[in-house]
């Protein structure tokens, strides 16, 4: 075992650390100190500071002391860096670097990004316009503070057996196998306990080592190329009659957890949502947990309005690998049952998942002995035993339970969430987590990334159990976009359960978000063995935040149904009268819809659903602050927030207004949206709640907020109240705007009557570097005493017209009767004929018409409707108007990115290129031109532009040197000036009319480069057997892709006497699942035959299934290069631990002398588990000199 040579690393990359723009002298080394909450609050206000766990400091003046942290001074990799911008023109300056090939990987507060240089000079980046500072990613910037030297051996990384386990997070595109190989070089005793599998998943590696090797392991991990965060590995662990009344009707008493639903005084109903036929119908809820018991009668019957349908949904085998979808059963209670990678089918051990899925939407149905249970319907809950919160909803089960009764296996949380969203789930329950002590971690990052990209889905997470003190919430409950749930006592309790973990998060954000009953929860009980028959519903009692989270999840589905069925804003399911309404809902454009068309349907997004839930809360009694770090914003009281025109029971003294902007129509830095309520009464609480799904931060972030919105409320008299500034549990003037949370509230228990103005301000929306993240959507819920009693709805505006349509946006005008105080413009993508009623979202509002939508893309079709607002409530929806936008279009052209192909021989030392044509994504700017660059190296260090105006997808480059390797790449530009990314490069070496000489053929990628590559094959400088360059079956820092069938092929050559093929190969390919096959063709590539190396192929595809699941469809019997090429083996099966090296191989070609042949190496991979891949170098064919003309003349 050996430690990393720290002094050697320092010497090799000193220039990297010191490459900082405009620095007069090297930065001073200062003690590393994790910022406390007060320091973080101050640092967020200073744009020049970099905020990391190692400190909040000005990087031009200071750097943290690596030796006290206990890591090498600097990393050896020069491929990654951090760049900080001056904030004034950040967006423009960032795009300048992006256009030069720099790749942005994640946000670092303040105003900084992780970048992949992609061959660009760090010095050039540091001096680029707007760049304040740039430097390599030093190891001191990557290590979790719990692993700093002084605390390392007492950290959460210590396992019960005395060994230590860490998790190493890497940038997207980095190969986990490459990280393992780097670590094993320095710490041979370390072993891999887990790693990411899917090529598109966020890369990570888990490593275990004994105490003696811990320091060396951390040294190696923090210096591996592409690593940005090293932390302790913390295992994910698992964390109703009464709950219904508590959340629907504000029940505060105590009653049984099974049987009849708890009632109020005198037996009054506390189920206003059930009473209004909100039972979960039409809603899909995903549950990731230890599985469930699908044959139990809780999960076998669904009545969607046409009578009960009974069927058992068993686990699909083989299960789909996330995010891929499996089989869906739209008429069943269990929509699907998909076991996640690494888990086992069904909930035989813990009963945890059966219990939580029962709480969400369990619905006892069927006759068992003397007992008959009725299934819920869209109209009636038919509550019996311990039916769930949303009994008529469907459940998508994502089984993540291993053999251990308390563990949850999550290999690819992003894939799991994406899978659920794509299957139609819009609320997702997670009653599990890792005890990360409030730290923003890998699964938090995954949740935030997925929810930003898929904003229609709300993810609910339990806060965690049994960790004393503050900063105890677990992950993924520390995610910004999660709705994180604490536990109260039983039934109507308003006291935090003693076991429920408290916040805030490590960076001071308010978590948990809210609380719900979680103690003594009665729900579905599992069965310990398989049954071929449906079994009677049995109950079990459990306690924990695992129980409170699904209580909230089920109720969130009811809230979503309230909007989806059109109860907002009228308080009942308003149906269209006989007027022209041009919507796609079963009737033709231009015709009148019949009665029964609910034109107020709205498919609200996750941020608005979260805002409505948080706007509904009542204060808890213990703790009692608003908000507080034990129970967040309190316990939901849905009937106190949702307004019903007909009040059966409950509280409808406040009315609700909601406003939302999708991310696509969201705010950019400096913009403001403003809304006004003209006449708010003083007799009921006024509350405004703003939430947004922020772009993901990087795991390990010291401050997780990326995009900062702020809530302001201007009260009658002009006093301004900022979000989250409270005194005695109500909003107070003064204070400072919140710059860390994604939830902000203003609350008055005794509001002054009059006009209230609510503002949403985009204080800072830098984005995290991913496309589209520098525009931020949100959800805003406002409730108070207004529009009561219910006024006559304002008449629908008529005669919609386009007032203007240009680079300033689309302006929509209409004819409206007098009396509106404001108007709201809604948009759906597509046309009025195909846009669903529920998919129209707010894009503009104002005191008068016309209203301008400045978030369109030129050339695209949009459908618009308008509402007038009168008496503080939205009026009737107008007819629909189709518009094709004439605004600017900023969409990148679609370009395959595949390397150009060579079309000609090289008789005149000329290279003819051709590539697949690009397609403009801007309908009004459809023409395309191409830029072609040439370079002497595959990284285009000093490229030459050959043309920037090629109208056709071809180009000829003449006057080249014989035998000189060249590299070409192409980029497309549309008529609007939008640039595509560069294509993959193509290599070419001019030879004579008869090609290269078959008697002395050499392709070493350095001095000659003849082979034709199909992605992911590329030329790399990471591994070479000789010289600098070689060929590899994956991108730099990446593992080879799943489901691949890709080739690297020699040119055609007529073989001569004594022909022998030889080459060097280095490989790490999933043993007997993935492989490379060497093949030969004698008919110009029409057909191919396997060509074994001397001694035969070292392995095969023996593990592939029947039919084969590798990308090329090779049978199990096909020989191949597979496993790892080690010093002692050509097929070592230890993919995760063995170290690959280059080894020589050869093949006699005597049988093909006199024939024109092509030889290729074929990469074939299955759907999972990628590794380093196959590297090829020094490809030679030797034999007698050929008789042809192998030399070109310019």
Which of helix, strand or coil describes residue 550?
helix
What is the phi/psi pair of residue 141, to 5°? -85, -5
Query: Do 98 and 104 form a contact (C-beta atoms < 8 A)?
Result: yes
Specify if 583 maps to a domain.
no
Is residue 363 scored above 70 in pLDDT? yes
What is the mean predicted confidence (pLDDT) over 231-237?
92
The closest of 366, 394, 357 to 378, measured between CA atoms, is 394
d(C-alpha 537, C-alpha 368), whole Å: 9
CATH number of residue 386's parent domain: 3.40.50.200
CATH number of residue 662's parent domain: 2.60.120.380
Q: Is the dihedral of CA 370, 375, 379, 384 positive or negative?
A: positive
Is residue 977 scored above 50 in pLDDT? yes
CA 521 remoteness from chain centre: 32
Instruction: Please give the structure tokens belonging to residue 212.
Output: 């003696």
pLDDT tens-digit map of 749-775? 999 999 999 999 999 999 999 989 999
Q: Which of 533, 548, 564 is the endpoint of a domain?
A: 564
pLDDT tens-digit map of 1057-1070? 999 999 999 999 99
**Site of tokens 């078959």:** 998
What is the mean predicted confidence (pLDDT) over 1004-1019?
95
Total domains in the fold of the chain = 6
Integer-rounded Cα Rg, in Å, for the chain is 32
Which stretches does DSSP call E strand in 513-594? 514-517, 521-524, 539-542
CATH number of residue 206's parent domain: 3.30.70.2860
pLDDT tens-digit map of 442-483? 999 999 999 999 999 999 999 999 899 999 999 999 999 999
The closest of 771, 761, 762, 709 to 94, measured between CA atoms, is 771
Specify if 587 maps to a domain.
no
* Cα 201–Cα 206–Cα 210 angle in degrees, nearest 5: 175
| Range in 62-66, 332-336, 423-427, 754-758 the model is least confident about | 62-66
Range list of H helices, 230-271? 241-249
Q: Which residues pair with 868 in a beta bridge?
A: 823
Instruction: Give the Cβ contact number of residue 9 at 10 Å.
Output: 18
Is the omega angle on the peptide bond into residue 597 within 30 degrees of 0, that is, cis? no
What is the phi/psi pair of residue 290, to 5°? -80, 15
Structure confidence at residue 243 (pLDDT): 73
Instruction: Give the Cβ contact number of residue 672 at 10 Å.
Output: 12
Whether residues 107 and 214 share a domain: the answer is: no
Whether residues 1135 and 1041 share a domain: the answer is: yes
Structure confidence at residue 585 (pLDDT): 34
Number of C-alpha atoms within 13 angstroms, CB side, residue 698? 37
CA distances from 364 to 304, 347, 741 (A): 15, 18, 41
Which of helix, strand or coil describes residue 91?
helix
Specify if 1089 maps to a domain.
yes
| Range in 257-261, 337-341, 439-443 the model is least confident about | 257-261
DSSP 716: T
* Residue predicted with more confidence, 584 or 811: 811
d(C-alpha 618, C-alpha 598), whole Å: 32
Instruction: Please give the structure tokens belonging to residue 123.
Output: 């010095």
DSSP 320: P
pLDDT tens-digit map of 1117-1170? 999 999 999 999 999 999 988 999 999 999 999 999 999 999 999 999 987 778
CATH number of residue 833's parent domain: 2.60.40.10
Torsion angle defined by CA atoms of residues 1107, 1111, 1114 and 1117, in that order, rounded to the nearest 10 degrees: -80
Query: Do 75 and 10 form a contact (C-beta atoms < 8 A)?
Result: no
Structure confidence at residue 15 (pLDDT): 31
Is residue 218 scored above 50 in pLDDT? yes
Query: Do 162 and 153 form a contact (C-beta atoms < 8 A)?
Result: no
Is residue 240 scored above 50 in pLDDT? yes
Whether residues 810 and 750 share a domain: the answer is: no
Structure confidence at residue 237 (pLDDT): 84
What is the mean predicted confidence (pLDDT) over 974-1003?
93
For the chain, how far is it from start to end, CA to CA, in angstroms?
A: 57
Instruction: Give the Cβ contact number of residue 1114 at 10 Å.
Output: 20
Specify if 575 maps to a domain.
no
Specify if 793 maps to a domain.
no
The H-or-E segment that residue 563 falls in is helix 545-564
Specify if 1009 maps to a domain.
yes
Residue 745, burial from CB neighbour count under 10 angstroms (0-12, 13-18, 19+): buried
pLDDT tens-digit map of 955-969? 999 999 999 999 999
Query: Do 361 and 390 form a contact (C-beta atoms < 8 A)?
Result: yes
| Range in 269-273, 606-610, 828-832 the model is least confident about | 269-273
Instruction: Give the Cβ contact number of residue 469 at 10 Å.
Output: 8
Under 8 Å CB-to-CB from 908, ≥6 apart: which residues?
A: 958, 1192, 1193, 1194
Instruction: Give the Cβ contact number of residue 888 at 10 Å.
Output: 20
Q: Which of 104, 123, 141 is the endpoint of a domain?
A: 141
Helices (H) and strands (E) in the chain, counts: 14, 68
What is the phi/psi pair of residue 69, to 5°? -70, -35
Whether residues 1048 and 931 share a domain: the answer is: yes
Under 8 Å CB-to-CB from 411, ≥6 apart: which residues?
A: 194, 196, 197, 201, 340, 341, 342
Query: Do 1052 and 1177 form a contact (C-beta atoms < 8 A)?
Result: no
What is the mean predicted confidence (pLDDT) over 887-893?
94
Question: What predicted TM-score, i.e. pTM, was given to this entire model?
Answer: 0.86
Whether residues 92 and 190 share a domain: the answer is: no
Number of C-alpha atoms within 13 angstroms, CB side, residue 1138? 24
Structure confidence at residue 540 (pLDDT): 95
Average pLDDT along the chain = 92
Whether residues 28 and 110 share a domain: the answer is: yes
Structure confidence at residue 810 (pLDDT): 98
What is the mean predicted confidence (pLDDT) over 65-84?
88
Is residue 597 scored above 80 in pLDDT? no
What is the mean predicted confidence (pLDDT) over 409-435?
97
d(C-alpha 1033, C-alpha 1065), whole Å: 11
CA distances from 946 to 100, 314, 934, 959, 1048 (A): 17, 60, 7, 13, 27
d(C-alpha 508, C-alpha 485), whole Å: 17
Provide the pLDDT confidence category of residue 178 given band limits of 50, 70 and 90: confident
pLDDT tens-digit map of 629-681? 999 999 999 999 999 998 766 678 899 999 999 999 999 999 999 999 999 99
Query: Do 872 and 786 form a contact (C-beta atoms < 8 A)?
Result: yes
Residue 129, burial from CB neighbour count under 10 angstroms (0-12, 13-18, 19+): exposed
Specify if 47 maps to a domain.
yes
Instruction: Please give the structure tokens belonging to residue 690.
Output: 């703003």
Whether residues 936 and 837 share a domain: the answer is: no
**Site of tokens 């400096």:** 670
CA distances from 736 to 78, 107, 614, 721, 1076 (A): 41, 24, 22, 10, 61
Instruction: Please give the structure tokens belonging to residue 705.
Output: 């907020």
**Site of tokens 């007997």:** 1072
Whether residues 854 and 806 share a domain: the answer is: yes
CA distances from 633 to 285, 292, 548, 744 (A): 24, 31, 15, 10
Specify if 792 maps to a domain.
no
Whether residues 156 and 252 share a domain: the answer is: no
d(C-alpha 1045, C-alpha 441), whole Å: 35
Side-by-side strand order, sheet with 743-748? 655-661, 778-784, 686-691, 743-748
pLDDT tens-digit map of 33-53? 999 999 999 999 999 999 999
Whether residues 1096 and 1117 share a domain: the answer is: yes
Is residue 1042 scored above 90 in pLDDT? no
Whether residues 321 and 336 share a domain: the answer is: yes
Whole domain around residue 824: which residue ranges? 798-884
Q: Which of 89, 121, 141 is the endpoint of a domain?
A: 141
Is residue 259 scored above 90 in pLDDT? no
Write the DSSP assignment of 715-732 as a string of letters.
-TTS-EEEEEEEETTEEE
The proportion of the chain whose per-residue pLDDT surpasses 70, expressed as a percent, equals 95
The proportion of the chain whose per-residue pLDDT surpasses 90, expressed as a percent, equals 84
Structure confidence at residue 906 (pLDDT): 59
Structure confidence at residue 591 (pLDDT): 31
**Site of tokens 């296996």:** 409
d(C-alpha 356, C-alpha 344), whole Å: 18
Structure confidence at residue 18 (pLDDT): 33
CATH number of residue 1136's parent domain: 2.60.120.260
Whether residues 968 and 849 share a domain: the answer is: no
């Amino acid at each position: 075992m050996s430690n990393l040579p720290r002094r050697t690393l320092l010497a090799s990359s000193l220039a990297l650390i010191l490459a900082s723009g405009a620095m007069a002298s090297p930065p001073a080394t200062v003690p590393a100190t994790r910022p406390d909450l007060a320091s973080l609050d101050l640092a967020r206000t200073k744009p020049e500071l970099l905020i990391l766990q190692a400190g909040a400091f000005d990087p031009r003046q200071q750097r943290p002391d690596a030796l006290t942290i206990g890591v090498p001074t600097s990393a050896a990799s020069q491929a990654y860096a951090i760049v900080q911008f001056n904030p004034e023109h950040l967006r423009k300056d960032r795009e300048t670097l992006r256009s030069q090939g720099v790749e942005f990987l994640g946000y670092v507060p303040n105003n900084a990004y992780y970048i992949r240089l992609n061959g660009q000079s760090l010095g050039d980046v540091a001096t680029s316009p707007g760049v304040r500072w740039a430097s390599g990613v030093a190891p001191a910037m990557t290590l979790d503070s719990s692993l700093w030297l002084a605390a390392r051996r007492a950290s959460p990384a210590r396992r019960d057996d005395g060994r230590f386990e860490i998790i190493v997070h890497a940038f997207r595109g980095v190969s986990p196998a490459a990280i393992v190989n780097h670590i094993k070089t320095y710490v041979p005793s370390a072993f891999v306990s887990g790693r990411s599998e899917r090529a598109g998943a966020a890369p990570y590696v888990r490593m275990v080592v004994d105490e003696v090797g811990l320091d060396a392991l951390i040294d190696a991990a923090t210096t591996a190329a592409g690593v940005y965060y090293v932390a302790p590995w913390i295992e994910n662990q698992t964390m109703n009659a009464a709950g219904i009344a508590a959340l629907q009707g504000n029940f505060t008493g105590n009653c049984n957890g099974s049987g009849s639903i708890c009632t109020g005084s005198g037996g009054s109903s506390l189920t206003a949502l059930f009473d209004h036929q909100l039972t979960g119908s039409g809603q899909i809820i995903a549950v990731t947990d230890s599985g469930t018991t699908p044959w139990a009668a809780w999960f076998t019957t669904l009545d969607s309005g046409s009578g009960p349908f009974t069927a058992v949904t068993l686990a699909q085998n083989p299960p789909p690998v996330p995010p891929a979808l499996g089989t869906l059963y739209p008429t069943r209670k269990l929509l699907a049952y998909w076991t996640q990678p690494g888990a086992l089918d069904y909930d035989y051990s813990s009963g945890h998942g059966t219990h939580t899925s029962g709480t969400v939407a369990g619905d006892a149905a069927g006759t068992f002995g003397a007992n008959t249970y009725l299934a819920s319907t869209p109209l009636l809950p038919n509550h019996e035993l311990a039916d769930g919160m949303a009994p008529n909803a469907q459940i998508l089960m994502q089984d993540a339970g291993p053999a251990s009764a308390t563990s949850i296996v999550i290999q690819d949380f992003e894939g799991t969430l994406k899978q659920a969203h794509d299957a139609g789930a819009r609320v997702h329950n997670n009653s599990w987590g890792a005890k990360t002590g409030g730290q923003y971690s890998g699964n938090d990052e995954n949740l935030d990334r997925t929810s930003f990209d898929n904003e229609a889905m709300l993810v609910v997470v339990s806060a965690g159990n049994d960790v004393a003190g503050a900063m105890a919430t677990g992950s993924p409950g520390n995610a910004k976009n999660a709705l994180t749930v604490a536990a109260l006592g039983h039934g109507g309790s308003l006291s935090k359960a003693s076991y429920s973990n408290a916040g805030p998060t490590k960076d001071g954000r308010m978590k948990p978000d809210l609380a719900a009953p979680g103690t003594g929860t009665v729900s579905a009980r599992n069965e310990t063995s398989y049954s071929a028959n449906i079994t009677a519903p049995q109950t079990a009692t459990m306690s924990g935040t695992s129980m409170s989270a699904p209580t909230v999840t089920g109720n969130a589905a009811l809230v979503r149904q309230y909007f989806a069925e059109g109860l907002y804003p009228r308080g009942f399911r308003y149906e269209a009268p006989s007027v022209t309404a041009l919507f796609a809902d079963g009737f033709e454009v231009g015709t009148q819809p019949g009665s029964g068309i609910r034109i107020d349907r709205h498919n609200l997004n996750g941020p608005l659903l979260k805002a409505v839930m948080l706007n509904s809360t009542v204060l808890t009694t213990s703790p009692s602050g608003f908000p507080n770090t034990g129970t967040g914003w309190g316990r939901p009281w849905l009937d106190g927030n949702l307004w019903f025109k007909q009040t059966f029971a409950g509280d409808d003294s406040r009315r609700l207004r909601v406003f939302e902007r999708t991310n696509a129509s969201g705010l950019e830095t400096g913009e403001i949206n403003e809304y006004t309520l003209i006449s708010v009464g003083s007799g009921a609480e006024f509350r405004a709640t703003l939430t947004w799904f922020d772009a993901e931060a990087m795991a390990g972030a010291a401050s997780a907020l990326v995009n900062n919105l702020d809530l302001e409320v201007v009260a009658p008299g002009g006093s301004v109240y900022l979000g989250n500034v409270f005194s005695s549990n109500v909003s107070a003037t003064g204070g400072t705007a919140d710059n860390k949370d994604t939830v902000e509230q203003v609350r008055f228990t005794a509001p002054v009557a009059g006009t209230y103005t609510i503002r949403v301000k985009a204080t800072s929306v830098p984005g995290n570097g991913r496309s589209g993240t520098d525009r931020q959507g949100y959800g805003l819920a406002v409730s108070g005493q207004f529009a009561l009693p219910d006024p006559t709805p304002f008449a629908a505006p008529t005669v919609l017209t386009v007032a203007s349509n240009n680079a300033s946006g689309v302006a929509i005008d209409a004819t409206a009767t007098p009396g509106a105080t404001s108007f709201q413009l809604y948009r759906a993508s597509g046309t009025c004929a195909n846009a669903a009623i529920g998919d129209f979202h707010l894009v503009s509002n104002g005191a008068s018409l016309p209203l301008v939508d400045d978030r369109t893309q030129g050339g695209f079709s949009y459908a618009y409707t308008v509402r007038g607002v009168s008496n503080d409530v939205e009026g009737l929806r107008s007819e629909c108007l189709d518009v094709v936008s004439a605004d600017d279009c900023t969409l990148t052209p679609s370009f395959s990115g595949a390397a150009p192909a060579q079309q000609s021989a090289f008789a005149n030392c000329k290279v003819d290129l051709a590539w697949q044509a690009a397609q403009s994504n801007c309908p009004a700017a459809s023409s395309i031109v191409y830029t072609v660059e040439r370079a002497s190296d595959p990284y285009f260090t000093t490229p030459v532009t050959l043309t920037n105006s090629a109208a056709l997808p071809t180009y000829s480059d003449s006057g080249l040197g014989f035998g000189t390797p060249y590299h070409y790449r192409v980029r497309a530009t549309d008529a609007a000036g939008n640039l595509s990314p560069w294509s993959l490069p193509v290599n070419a070496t001019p030879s004579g009319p008869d090609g290269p000489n078959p008697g002395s053929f050499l392709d070493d990628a350095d001095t000659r480069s003849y082979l034709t590559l199909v992605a992911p094959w590329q030329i790399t400088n990471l591994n070479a057997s000789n010289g600098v360059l070689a060929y590899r079956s994956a991108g730099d820092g990446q593992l080879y892709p799943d489901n691949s069938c890709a080739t690297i092929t020699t040119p055609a050559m007529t073989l001569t006497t004594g022909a022998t093929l030889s080459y060097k190969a280095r490989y790490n390919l999933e043993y007997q699942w993935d492989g490379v096959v060497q093949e030969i063709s004698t008919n110009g590539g029409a057909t191919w035959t396997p060509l074994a190396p001397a001694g035969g192929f070292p392995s095969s595809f023996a593990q592939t299934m029947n039919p084969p699941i590798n990308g090329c469809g090779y049978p199990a019997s096909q020989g191949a290069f597979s496993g790892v090429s080690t010093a002692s083996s050509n097929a070592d099966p230890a993919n995760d631990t063995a170290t690959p090296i280059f080894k020589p191989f050869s093949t006699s070609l005597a049988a093909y002398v006199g024939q024109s042949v092509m030889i290729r190496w074929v990469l074939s991979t299955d759907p999972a588990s990628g590794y380093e891949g196959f590297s090829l170098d020094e490809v030679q064919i030797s034999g007698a000199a050929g008789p042809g003309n192998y030399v070109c003349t310019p």
